[in-house]
A and B are shown apart, each in its own frame.
Chain A
């Protein structure tokens, strides 16, 4: 036994030497030999057929200017993405938040937006953050970015049948997407979020439907969306992160890394994302994270699958699922429909439960 030790030591030092040599060898080969194995290419083409291209062509003169101004101003930020090449506005860079009282409120709003649980937890009833559905801190085009939303309010909303200002729009997000309690008017949480959106929209043309607003609207699928095909798409392209049970995953420090897509800790039956067409548009443009390469059909199918799962009750629940469905749910909602022998909404956990499972 003891005679082996020196031998081993020799062997190990040789191996270490080999390792070092190997690294020196690999270190300088910096030329990528693989072409980027990419990605969101289908999206812009599809989108050109929609109303957005009309918007774009109306603004040719303005958008050219705005774009070049933007890329100078952003400095460190990268050139416009393929997905957003058509965008006619880009928000100010992160490090441009002013260092004054207003800037402090903007930062507060950004923190609420990206870590809603910590900074506005009392108004939240699930495990989501605003930024889970509005990616890149509410900056990403085709991910319902805040800079495109800001100037579009006040606006009439069919959902509550009256003109909503921006604060009321955000209250709706808390009630439905966050399955929580809307902060009262004038609450600092609303003020901070408004400040953040206002700042992101610095210099944006007013009352204009900017390219990149909302989620893309997909054309109707060739085949009707299918739960069973969607289940397969989910297993192949989503479960790695969101879990095979759709309940998400936490990082080793206990914080939520991948958000839940259904169940008691996700968005409720009144949220925009519960509509299959909305989810399909979001997914097509943004999921799988960093590799949004699904076909339109796959996006529709997997949206059908995740939006045919039980989730917290619609806060407008009248006491009867069929009644609530009739009153509030249109053709793209699975609420009240029967899937695999179960009426969706019937076993929904109550809406608006408070965030308690959360901070570990």
Chain B
């Protein structure tokens, strides 16, 4: 404990010796260089600025709430959120490192993922209708009521959907319907996903994928 603390202090002071200190790797280092043999650099999939990779379907992390991101990493690690790629990565990080990574990405500015211009072909109108008005006859509020206008996100617990890869968004809605992702705060999202029709999923995912995440000015919680 004291040794680690001392190492920590020294490394901060000396500032450049850090290459050998894997255990002390900063979140920025882990993001860019990974951690040992088990963790590939986050940036290789989630992008150098956490902007995600639309073509490959990797989600944007930049600017999402820290408590949200941390909960996701913890759920990947425990297996409650099932994902074969993220599970070993989340498991190789300590709880403290998961928290630090969450904070790191929450503070990055959201930048549009590369493919975002190519992707904005006309999203189907049914998707827009569900996203902007919901379907109250089935007790489904408008998605934007919780995820903000165009899905820019609200506070720390309602993640931005704007500009996320359509395949990723679809995958999440299906994961809830198949019990492969925990319900999240108050079980709200799981209950909404359960009320959707199968035919809702693709259009609403395409709608949010086509929105610009940069209409988010950041801050604003």
Check B129–A1 contact: CB distance below 8 A.
Answer: no
Q: How far apart are the CA atoms of A40 and B186 in the complex, in Å?
A: 15
Contacts of B150 in A (CB 8 A): 253
Give the docked Cα–Cα distance between A291 and B177 (Å). Answer: 17
B138 contacts A23, CB within 8 Å?
no
Nearest Cβ distance between residue B70 and chain A, in whole angstroms? 16
Chain B residue at smallest Cβ distance from A5: B33
Shortest CB distance A280–B (Å): 19
CA of A88 to CA of B85, assembled, Å: 52
A1→B154 CA distance, assembly (Å): 41
- B139 close to A26 (CB less than 8 A): no
Which residues of A226-259 are within 8 A (CB) of B? 237, 240-241, 249-255, 257-258
User: In the complex, which residues of chain A have a beta carbon less than 8 angstroms from the beta carbon of B149?
Assistant: 251, 253, 255
Given A289-B145, A290-B191, does the pair A258, B83 have CB atoms closer than 8 Å? Answer: no
Which residue from B134, B140, B217 sits with its C-beta under 8 Å from A253?
A: B217
Q: For the complex, what is the distance from the CA of A139 to the CA of B198, rounded to whole Å?
A: 25
Inter-chain contacts of A103 with B (CB < 8 A): none
Contacts of A290 in B (CB 8 A): 139-141, 146, 188, 191-192
- Fill in one digit per residue for B107-135: 1 if any A CB lies within 8 Å of its CB, else 0: 00000000000000000001001000111
Which of A9-17, A269-277, A334-342 is the interface stretch? A9-17
Bound state CA distance, A360 and B215, in angstroms?
14
A279 CA to B155 CA, complexed, in Å: 26
Q: Which of B45, B141, B219 is A15 in contact with, Cβ under 8 Å?
A: B45
Q: A33-B177, A257-B145, A288-B186 are in contact. Are A80 and B137 (CB under 8 A)?
A: yes
Q: Known A36-B191, A240-B185; judge A251-B40 contact (CB<8 A).
A: no
Residues in chain A near residue B158, CB distance under 8 A: 257
CB proximity to B under 8 Å, residues A259-310: 288-292
Q: A8-B41, A39-B191, A289-B146 are in contact. Are A250 and B186 (CB under 8 A)?
A: no
Question: Is A32 an interface residue when CB atoms closer than 8 A count as contact?
Answer: yes
Contacts of A30 in B (CB 8 A): 174, 177, 198
Contact B160 A136, beta carbon cutoff 8 Å? no
Residues from chain B with Cβ under 8 Å of A29 in the complex: 174, 178
State whether the Cβ of B194 lies closer than 8 Å to any Cβ in chain A. yes
Known: A251-B148, A254-B220, A257-B145. A84 touches B56 (CB 8 A): no
Indicate if the CB atoms of B179 and A34 lie closer than 8 Å.
yes
Q: State how many angstroms separate the Cβ of A227 from the closest Cβ of chain B.
A: 22
A72 within 8 A of B: no
Q: A1-B19, A34-B194, A79-B137 are in contact. Are A23 and B57 (CB under 8 A)?
A: yes
Question: B183: which A residues are within 8 A, CB to CB?
Answer: 37
Q: Is A175 located at the chain interface by the 8 A CB criterion? A: no
A sample of 24 cross-chain residue pairs with beta-carbon separation below 8 angstroms, ordered by A number, consists of: A8-B34, A8-B44, A12-B45, A15-B40, A16-B45, A23-B171, A30-B198, A34-B179, A34-B194, A37-B183, A38-B191, A77-B137, A78-B138, A94-B133, A240-B186, A250-B155, A251-B149, A251-B220, A252-B154, A252-B160, A254-B220, A289-B146, A290-B139, A360-B220
